[in-house]
Amino acid sequence: MNDSDKKFKILVVDDSDLILHALKNFFREYQLEVVTCHDGLEGVQQAIEIKPTLIILDLLMPNLDGVKMLKVIKLMKDVKDIPVIVISGNTNKRNVLAAIEAGAEKVLSKPLKKELLKKSISEVLGPEFLKKVKKPESTSLSKDDKEFIYELRQYFINGFSSKIELMKEVFRKEDMGNLRFVFHELKGSGSTIGLPELSQIGEEVEQKIDSKIKDWDYYKQRWDEVLDLVEEIKKEQAALD
């Protein structure tokens, strides 16, 4: 089998459905199989099973975070040479160094920028890789970063109603577990869709929850702030339609 007949695989490991959707959407115009999973433990298992051409990996995940997953796969003979691009909403110097020292080839910050992602993949897999795997009869047009963010925000809005219903139950039952789950997702989503205010709220609430503080008036106030931000996003999106 030569390279032109080979089915290349991309493994995306991230606990954010928004990022998984974004990257699946990004790779639509290429002849690539995209495999996704939500945490580092599953990521290790998938890497061993499918031996992907490239791994795209988030840093902050449940069960096994991105740096720990990197360290694990770099010890395994069959998968240690697979290149890894790390993406994170928090690319401070410490996180970048930790990812590079663990074996990442590139570290990219959220929100993802399409052209930078293409450039990074080309640097890691070779300048001709994306040209080689691009679908020959693809009708999809290249989208700039603003359009990419627009699509991500629309996906976020479309799925937000389920969070509203979940939060009604959270407040009714005073469910700290799902409260943390929702605000952790919002922290990641804010980075992904270019809304740092949302990420800030998510991070502040998550820290308070991790401190075992059961201040439900505070949590309701922060949730109202989230609802206001989402309404603003909806108006902005509607103005662009």
Residue 26: pLDDT above 50?
Answer: yes
Is there a contact between 78 and 49 (Cβ–Cβ < 8 Å)? no
Give the list of residues 6+ apart from residue 21 with CB closer than 8 angstroms, or none: 152, 155
Alpha helix locations (H) across the chain? 17-26, 40-50, 66-73, 93-102, 114-125, 129-133, 145-173, 176-192, 196-210, 216-240
- With a pLDDT cut of 90, the percent of the chain lying above it is 57
Q: Give the pLDDT score at 144.
A: 61
Residue 139: pLDDT above 50?
Answer: no
Q: Give the pLDDT score at 137.
A: 57
Residue 181: pLDDT above 70?
Answer: yes
* Structure tokens belonging to residue 191: 């980075």
DSSP 76: -
Domain ranges of the chain: 8-140, 146-240
Q: Considering only CA atoms, which of 5, 11, 16, 4 is closest in space to residue 199?
A: 16
CATH topology of domain 8-140: Rossmann fold (3.40.50)
CA distance 104 to 68: 12
CA distance 205 to 211: 10
With tokens 């796969």, the residue in question is 73
Write the pLDDT tens digit of every residue in 194-229.
Answer: 888 999 999 999 999 999 999 999 999 999 999 999
The C-alpha angle with vertex 146 and arms to 108 and 61, in degrees rounded to 5, equals 35
Residue 138: pLDDT above 50?
Answer: no
Sign of CA dihedral 73, 77, 81, 82: negative
Write the pLDDT tens digit of every residue in 76-121.
Answer: 999 999 999 999 877 778 888 999 999 999 999 887 888 899 999 9
Lowest-confidence pick of 21-35, 120-134, 225-239: 21-35
CATH topology of domain 146-240: Four Helix Bundle (Hemerythrin (Met), subunit A) (1.20.120)
Lowest-confidence pick of 33-37, 149-153, 234-238: 149-153
